[in-house]
A and B are shown apart, each in its own frame.
Chain A
């Protein structure tokens, strides 16, 4: 929530939601495309 507080200095709550959704979707897409594991690797 510390990062939310910083983000709120320049964006509205809904804009932050949209922004992080897009970032997360891109990250997950890259991970999936490269066929890398995530959950199993982070927590064996």
Chain B
């Protein structure tokens, strides 16, 4: 479902999509120092896909994923702030969210990508389910006051149309055509896009260690 949904900041977790997960990621982010959120989803996805015999482990695939993971860790540079400054709760929530994302990729590949249902139908079903679940929970957990400025409304619309709607349709297309592991590597692109958008939309400064 929605991608980086509730995750604040531009340091992108394993965001991209999954209805309720972004809420968990957003909460986890409050327990983690911003620089300590490397993308774990592709590695989790690969491990899960191989262990369930959904995909084969090849040397190039393993090498590519490892290289990507190392790059993200270097960008995150957890050693700068001290490795143990984040709470175990935050780290645990982030790892759990990554594992859930990975499970969703593998599940979609194994059971939903046989061509019987189009990406549009799969996306619709996932979003409707997520909306219903969240709507049921909202009265209890979403009672904070809302300030609807033009910028806020525009942002939510952009997030909904592009970050959730179009992104999910493309995500299912990727899973169907390229497989779960390859689709999950999209998360490696999030920091790059986030930095560029931060520069373009928020006029944020870019440094050598961004994000």
Which chain A residues have a beta carbon within 8 Å of chain B's beta carbons?
Answer: 1-29, 31-32, 38-40, 42-43
- Whole-angstrom distance between the Cβ of B150 and the nearest chain A Cβ: 10
Looking across the interface, which residue of chain A has its beta carbon closest to that of B4?
A: A1
Chain A residues near B154: list those with CB within 8 A.
6
B159 touches A15 (CB 8 A): no
Taking chain B's interface residues, is the majority helix, strand, or loop, or is none over half, making it mixed?
helix
Q: How many residues of B contact A (CB 8 A)?
A: 66
CA distance A4 to B4 in the complex (A): 8
Q: Can you pick out 9 interface pairs between chain A and chain B where the beta carbons lie within 8 Å of each other?
A: A1-B15, A2-B200, A5-B10, A11-B147, A14-B23, A18-B138, A27-B160, A28-B124, A28-B127
Q: What would 11 more interface pairs be, CB under 8 Å, given A9-B152, A10-B146? A: A2-B202, A4-B159, A14-B142, A19-B156, A23-B156, A32-B120, A32-B121, A38-B166, A39-B118, A39-B170, A42-B169
Given A7-B159, A17-B20, A29-B124: A24 and B5 interface contact (C-beta under 8 Å): no
Q: Is B90 an interface residue (CB 8 A)?
A: no
User: A20 and B5 in contact (CB under 8 A), knowing A27-B160, A31-B120?
Assistant: yes
Q: Mark B17-32, 1 if CB is under 8 A from A, else 0.
A: 0011011001100000
Q: Given that A17-B2, A18-B134, A23-B161 are contacting pairs, would A28 and B152 also be in contact in the complex, using a CB cutoff of 8 Å? A: no
The chain B residue with its CB closest to the CB of A18 is: B134
The answer, yes or no, to whether B42 is at the interface (CB within 8 Å) is: no
Contact status of A2 and B120, CB under 8 A, knowing A15-B142, A23-B157:
no
Which of B121, B142, B202, B204 gathers the greatest number of chain A CB atoms within 10 Å? B142
**Structural contact, A2 and B197, CB atoms closer than 8 A:** yes
Chain B residues with CB under 8 Å of A19's CB are 156, 159-160
Candidates A4, A9, A18, A43; contact of B151 at CB < 8 Å: A9
Work out how many contacts link A and B, with CB atoms closer than 8 A. 177
1/0 per residue, CB under 8 A from A, across B82-119: the answer is 00000000000000000000000000000000000011
The answer to whether the Cβ of B78 comes within 8 Å of any Cβ in the partner chain is no
Q: Which residues of A contact B56 (CB under 8 A)?
A: none
B38 at the interface (CB under 8 A from A): no
Min CB–CB distance A35 → chain B (angstroms): 10
Shortest beta-carbon distance from B61 to chain A in Å: 22
